[in-house]
Amino acid sequence: MPEQLLFTRILNGEFAGPMTALLRALHMEPQFPAAPITNAVAMEFLVFGFMVMAFILVRSRLSVENPGALQHVFEGANSFIENQSLDMIGPHSERFTPFLVTLGLFILLSNLLGLVPGLESPTAYPVVTLGCAVCTFLYYQANGFATGGIGYLKHFLGPIWWLTPLMLPLEIISHMARVLSLTIRLYANMFAGDMVTLAFFSLIPIGVPVIFLGLHLGVAFLQAYIFILLTTVYLAGAVATEH
């Protein structure tokens, strides 16, 4: 049985049976039927629940004349990503803002969760960062086809027809490498941050770890920004009118 965080134990205590039954119905045998919910999944649920509550709270208190502090935070994040998308993608980029903001907030909150005692950053697990990378890959590819139709495939064929046999496999590998790059970059940085913070808390529990908590905080924001920046770059390339 793997080591479980308190929140993970609570979820497994309440939902282990239904979750195991669901996985078996999908022909997926859990490694630990008594604890099918892993720490990574539990932390994702925690982030998801927090985001839903925050969105509901902001929506219920929306005000033009007297916006609250939380509304200012969300409006600032939305404006920042929308302006960045406009600069990089061009007109009509606002349709990508909801996805980019939601993904960015999910990654940022997941990164910051490791600062809370008794919790872990779900982005310190490769399966979570892979999920974010795959969502990004599918999203920008879908928008590429939605914008350019079947002509989007020209992006993979190169500028000259006789280069197609060379360019096609290179482009496919390049796009697959984007998924790998997004996955490893986020996972490696957050995993290292969690391990360094934990190590110094174990060795020197007073004073010095505060410095590393500050570094972890900076890395959390930086990695969330880089992930969204690269997603915007990939979207810009996919929906460009000329390839």
Nearest to 234 by CA among 166, 158, 133, 163: 133
DSSP 193-235: HHHHHHHHHHH--SSHHHHHHHHHHHHHHHHHHHHHHHHHHHH
Q: pLDDT (tens digit, 0 to 9) for every residue of the chain, 243 residues total?
A: 678 888 999 999 999 999 999 989 988 888 888 899 999 999 999 999 999 999 999 888 888 888 888 888 989 999 999 999 999 998 888 999 999 999 999 999 999 998 888 888 999 999 999 999 999 999 999 999 998 888 888 878 777 777 778 888 888 999 999 999 999 999 999 998 777 777 777 666 665 567 777 888 899 999 999 999 999 999 998 887 643
Say if CB 212 and CB 196 are below 8 A apart. yes
Determine contact, residues 106/47, Cβ cutoff 8 Å. Answer: yes
Q: Which two tokens stand for residue 240?
A: 């460009």
Is 28 in a helix, a strand, or coil?
coil
Q: Which residue has the tokens 């939305």?
A: 78
Q: What does residue 49 show for φ and ψ, rounded to 5 degrees?
A: -60, -40
Q: In terms of C-beta distances under 8 Å and separation of at least 24 residues, what long-range contacts does 67-75 make, across chains too? A: none
Those residues with Cβ within 8 angstroms of residue 188's Cβ, 6 or more apart along the chain or in another chain:
none
Q: Tell me the H-state helices in 89-125.
A: 97-113
Biggest distance spanned by C-alpha atoms of the chain: 65
Q: What CA–CA distance (Å, rounded) separates 229 from 96?
A: 13
Per-residue confidence (pLDDT) for residue 116, from 0 to 100:
85
Domain boundaries, the chain: 1-37, 40-239
Give pLDDT, residue 176. Answer: 93
Q: Specify the length of the chain in residues.
A: 243
Region of 118 (left: φ > 0; alpha: ψ -120 to 50; beta: rest) is left
Query: Smallest Cα–Cα separation from 129: which of 230, 7, 19, 237?
Result: 230
Tokens 């996955």 identify what position?
Answer: 183
Predicted TM-score (pTM) of this structure: 0.89
